[in-house]
Each structure stands twice: as C-alpha cells, then as structure tokens.
Amino acid sequence: MNDAIPGAEASTDLVPVEPAPSAFDFLLRSDVAPPADEDPGESAARPAAFDFSDRPEREVPKASPLEWVSLALAVVLPPLGLIVSVVAGFIARRTHGWTTWVVKTATVVGAILTVVLVAGGLVFTAIGNAQAADAKIVADSAAFCAALDETPGVLEQPGFGWPTDRSAIPQTIVEMQAYLDRWTALTDVAPAGVRPGVRSVANAAQSLLTAVQTNQAIDRARNLSDIRSVTSASGVTQYVAKYCR
C-alpha cells in the first residue's frame, strides 16, 4: 500500500534544524531582543549577568614608614625590631585589614635573629663563667703550686720521690718521714679540687712508715709498687698540668 500523499513531490533535500537556544545562551548574548511586554529602557538599564564594574577596586597595601623602620631594626637590633614589627602589624590590621610583606618579613627576621642572639648570649655567658671559674681555681692553687716548685721534678720521680736508696732501716725511716711531712704540708695548702688526692698520698706514706717502724723490716720493691699505685690514681699530676701556671 502506497502511503505517499497524492500530488506531493518526493524531495531528497534535508532542511537543517537549528537547536533551540538555552537560557545560558541568552545570558551571553547582548543582541537578544527583550520580551514584547518589557520596556526597552528597563532592559538597557539592567546590568549584564557578569558585569563586576560596580565592585570597588581593592586597595594595594603599601608599607608605612613604621614598617620599614621595623625591618631595619630587625636586622640591626633584632629584639627591638621584633617588638616594633608586632606593633606595626597590629596598626596595619586595624587600619587596612591586612599586613604588608615588609612587616611580615620584619617579624620573621626579628624572631629568628632574636633566638640566635639569645642562644649566642647563653653560650658566651657559659664560656665566660667557665673561664672565670677556671681563673679562680688557678688563683686558689697558687700556694699549692708554689710548694711543689720547692722540689722541682718531684712529680716525675717514681712514687713522687719515694725514697729508693738502699740505706739502713733507720736512715730509710728518716727519709720516709721526710716524704710524709712534705705531703702532709701539701695537703694543708692543696685546693679542694686536688686535696683528696694529696691526702691519699700522705695516708699511704703513713701506712708504709708505720709498717716499717713496727716490723723493723722493709720490702723496698713492694713499698715502691704500693706508693706508685696510689700516686698514679691521685690525679695530682693532671691537676698540676692544668692549673699550675
């Protein structure tokens, strides 16, 4: 069955169909005519959808003289510069609602250099205190060092000058007594830092002398070994090398 309409001629030409405009197209087009019921004057007076010309232009922040001063002080006098930068930043926020890069930089630089300055001050103070304490020990050791100088080289001798001559026992006792008297006198003038070591030498000499006087016999090698173990542990040599100048 032929459904063709009588009298209608067949055509192979296709007529292009334009798509219906969207609402967004109307927003972008400025040549669209206003609706028939709208006053053309009202359409012209209405601003475009993306017109931001009525917005106020944002003020470009400029650094105040106080902010530049705070930056200079942050480099020269960091603690003062830090304080001034905080004040300048507070004033800028109250006046403009923001702060400039100058005051921000001054605050950061001032804070960092203040920390460095404080740390350096603590280090130098500690060094100064250590030097002062060292100088006091040297002063307190003057009498002890002078007494040691009366017997030059005694600390380099075995047992700090312990008698090693193979004399008769009575003569050895006299020499041991002289050794004991010398180190007892050194104990009296020794500063607190070395006094225990000096006293240990005097005590060891007293013990050896008492043993020889009691037994009337002497083991010279054993006695020298005993006194040397005491003198090496006394710390006298190290103390003298550090504080006797």
Tell me the pLDDT tens digit for each residue of 104-122: 999 999 999 999 999 999 9
Residue 77 has pLDDT above 60, yes or no: yes
Confidence of residue 230 (pLDDT cuts 50, 70, 90): very high
54 or 227, higher pLDDT: 227
**Rounded distance between C-alpha atoms, residue 53 and residue 9, angstroms:** 59
Residue 50 has pLDDT above 60, yes or no: no
Structure tokens, 76: 């020269």
Mean pLDDT for the stretch of residues 52-56: 52
Q: Looking at residue 164, what is its pLDDT?
A: 85
Q: Looking at residue 8, what is its pLDDT?
A: 46
Q: Looking at residue 229, what is its pLDDT?
A: 95
Yes or no: say if 187 and 202 are a contact pair by the CB < 8 Å rule.
Answer: yes
Distances in Å between the alpha carbon of 139 and those of 149, 184, 192, 204? 16, 21, 12, 28
Mean pLDDT for the stretch of residues 193-222: 94
**Rounded distance between C-alpha atoms, residue 163 and residue 215, angstroms:** 18
Residue with tokens 């030409």: 13
Q: Looking at residue 128, what is its pLDDT?
A: 93
Q: Looking at residue 21, what is its pLDDT?
A: 57
Of 61-65, 87-91, 214-218, 224-228, the least confident: 61-65
Residue 245 has pLDDT above 60, yes or no: yes
**Rounded distance between C-alpha atoms, residue 76 and residue 73, angstroms:** 5
Residue 47 has pLDDT above 90, yes or no: no
Residue 49 has pLDDT above 80, yes or no: no
Residue 55 has pLDDT above 90, yes or no: no
23 or 154, higher pLDDT: 154
Mean pLDDT for the stretch of residues 218-222: 91
pTM: 0.56
DSSP string for 151-199 = STTGGGSGGGT-------HHHHHHHHHHHHHHHHHHHHH--TTTHHHHH
